[in-house]
Amino acid sequence: MREKLNIGTRGSALALTQTRQIAALLQRHYPAMRIEVVVIRTSGDIQKDVPLARIGGKGLFIKEIEEALLAGTVDLAVHSMKDLPAELPEGLRIAAVPLREDPRDVLISGTGLGIGELPAGARIGTGSLRRIVQLSSWRPDLEILPIRGNLDTRIRKVTSGDLDGIVVAAAGIRRMGWAGQVTQFIPAEKMLPAVGQGVLCLETRCGEEDLDAGLAFLEDERTRREVTAERAFLRRLGGGCSLPVAAFAEEREGSLTIRGLVGSLEKGKMIRHELQGKAADAADLGTELADALLDGGGRILLSALNSGQP
């Protein structure tokens, strides 16, 4: 393994926490290595006041980091997998996929009430089309408001009374040590997670076998297969990570079940499907699930979304 490693990351508190956790594991495994965390501002961090759906979420939080990786400014990039488009730039690869954190979404509410108990008209903040579609189907009487910003900024919207609650990813809350603020861990049966939610991605340049071999101890093979199925699903749907789609794969004893949905911004309109097969066929299962949803009406929903229809 190398004597020096530069790790690129976003500058948010969560991104830095995640990257420092990976850096600590590397330092423990390679005590003599000098590790530097390099903070890189991304387009998504700069355009904080614009809804992700309006500016297009594809690569917004990773583009500049990948450019630094390709330029050799950093040797390794640490991303949240759900920020990663289905297709990587030429010359880059996913070198390691660590064990998945909690993949669920959570509600943080000011009243301590769960989604099912919130009063009609309660104001819930989220910046995700995927969450908007599923929340609108579950509780069409809620007022769902767009919100962006770091986790602490979003939580302050609740504590200040600007919002009655927010829905965010459990993984980020857990990694920050804030699980005590969670009102409700939302079952995947009620709200399917984003593709890759709860998973970190360690991205490197192609052809650097020494580095990839040095990162191999961080790889979790089960998580890799699960996220391979989910990303194959996303790739078949067009590769964007701001679409109102969701997929979640779970492997048990060599069998893999993947559930997915395609939604519309028209309240309550979404199509769900699930498949089960061999975990070794993860990519094929993800693609097959996407095809089933597209053929079952998803193609019309996504076409309408792209043309500006509900």
Residues tagged active-site = 83
Confirm if 231 and 253 have CB atoms less than 8 A apart: no
Partners of 271 in the beta sheet? Answer: 262
Q: Which two tokens stand for residue 171?
A: 């993984």
Residue 220, CB-side half-sphere exposure with 13 Å CA sphere: 13
Nearest residue to 173 (alpha-carbon basis) of 102, 81, 100 = 102
Q: Report the chain's terminal Cα–Cα distance, integer Å.
A: 52
How far are the Cα atoms of 132, 277, 286, 291 from residue 280, in angstroms, in the given order? 33, 9, 12, 19
Q: How far apart are CA 126 and CA 124, in angstroms?
A: 7
Confirm if 196 and 57 have CB atoms less than 8 A apart: no
Q: How far apart are CA 72 and CA 10, in angstroms?
A: 17
- CA 151 from chain center: how many Å? 14
Q: How far apart are CA 42 and CA 5, in angstroms?
A: 21
Confirm if 204 and 211 have CB atoms less than 8 A apart: yes
Name 186's Cβ contacts closer than 8 Å, sequence gap at least 6: 104, 105, 106, 107, 115, 167
Helices and strands (DSSP H and E) totals, the chain = 11, 13
Q: How far apart are CA 61 and CA 2, in angstroms?
A: 27
Partners of 165 in the beta sheet? Answer: 109, 124
